[in-house]
């Protein structure tokens, strides 16, 4: 099938700290392992388990700035702390566990970093950085990319129209940051990306691995306050449910890395069948005034 222009890249987001707040970029480097610096750090509890917003919602208060030589973390009421992009070579690797008891490796940064994050989260933890040589990969059948601390794929893509469609069904609209996307696209129909298999943005070529199944519950957490609710997943469950979970957005692998910039057109290089999703049951929102 021939190339079709469908939509525009509207936003680029990176999340240096897994489950921390994102940083919006107008231009950013896309490498084989994903967006530069994306989810290269995470926090682990003393048992080696990865900490997320589900286990400690105070993670939503941690913000980051990306500098030339390091990453600066800051939170209200605390002095900021900066860590180098590349950890000292002599730091030993440790084994930790992410969602689903998946084993991952990483190196602890410093005692000072551990103390800072433990104070912010009010819980003991260690700041961990992904190793230079990756030990995790995406599914080889869709294009094996090395992973940092992303859950399954290096990129999460969501369309703005899908969020707008969701918000028509909610009593209180939610922001895009609930879904923690890397790439936000505009100019498409709601969920038309379900049928995309390969796309081009600028010189980068991306392959859709599978829809993102939101089973973790993070979209129900307010990214400013850390407060947890039943929406929007309760409503999404009425019209975007599959056997695997609740589909919203796409897990994306990288076929050809290249720099990205907002405003770039999206070219669909290959289409395919949409995943099986249950028949739509319209809104849980009442129309009574």
**Each residue of 229-246: pLDDT tens digit?**
999 999 999 999 988 889
Whether residue 235 lies inside any domain: the answer is: yes
Asked, for residue 288, whether it belongs to a domain, the answer is no
Across 13-17, 34-38, 177-181, 277-281, least confident range? 277-281
**Alpha-carbon gap, residue 127 to 109, rounded angstroms:** 6
**Is residue 287 in some structural domain?**
no
Query: How many distinct structural domains can be found in the chain?
Result: 1
Q: What is the CATH number of the domain that holds 48?
A: 2.40.33.20
Say if 285 falls within a structural domain: no
Q: Is residue 279 part of a domain?
A: no
Residue 203 lies in a domain: yes
- Answer whether 0.85 is exceeded by the pTM: yes
Asked if residue 158 belongs to a domain, the reply is: yes
Domain of 198 in residue numbering reads as: 4-271
Is position 185 within any domain? yes
* pLDDT tens digits, 240-274: 998 888 999 999 999 999 999 999 999 999 999 99
């Amino acid at each position: 099938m021939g190339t079709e222009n469908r939509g525009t890249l509207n936003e680029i987001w990176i999340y240096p700290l897994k489950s921390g707040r994102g940083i919006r970029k107008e231009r950013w480097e896309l490498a084989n392992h994903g967006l530069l610096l994306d989810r290269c750090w995470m926090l682990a509890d003393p048992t080696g388990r990865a900490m997320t917003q589900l286990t400690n919602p105070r993670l939503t208060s941690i913000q980051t700035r990306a500098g030339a030589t390091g990453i600066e973390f800051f939170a209200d009421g605390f002095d900021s702390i900066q860590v180098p992009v590349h950890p000292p070579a002599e730091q030993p690797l440790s084994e930790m566990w992410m969602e689903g008891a998946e084993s991952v490796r990483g190196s602890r940064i410093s005692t000072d970093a551990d103390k800072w994050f433990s104070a912010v989260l009010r819980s003991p933890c260690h700041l961990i950085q992904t190793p230079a040589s990756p030990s995790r990969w995406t599914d080889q059948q869709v294009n094996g990319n090395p992973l940092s601390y992303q859950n399954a794929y290096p990129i999460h893509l969501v369309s703005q129209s899908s969020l707008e469609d969701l918000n028509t069904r909610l009593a209180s609209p939610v922001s895009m940051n609930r879904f923690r996307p890397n790439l936000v696209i505009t100019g498409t129909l709601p969920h038309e990306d379900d049928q995309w298999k390969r796309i081009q943005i600028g010189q980068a070529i991306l392959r859709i691995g599978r829809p993102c199944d939101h089973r973790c519950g993070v979209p129900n957490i307010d990214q400013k306050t850390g407060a947890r609710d039943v929406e929007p997943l309760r409503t999404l469950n009425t019209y975007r449910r599959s056997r695997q979970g609740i589909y919203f957005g796409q897990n994306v692998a990288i076929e050809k890395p290249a720099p990205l910039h907002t405003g770039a057109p999206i070219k669909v290089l290959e289409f395919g069948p949409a995943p099986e999703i249950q028949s739509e049951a319209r809104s849980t929102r009442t129309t009574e005034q």
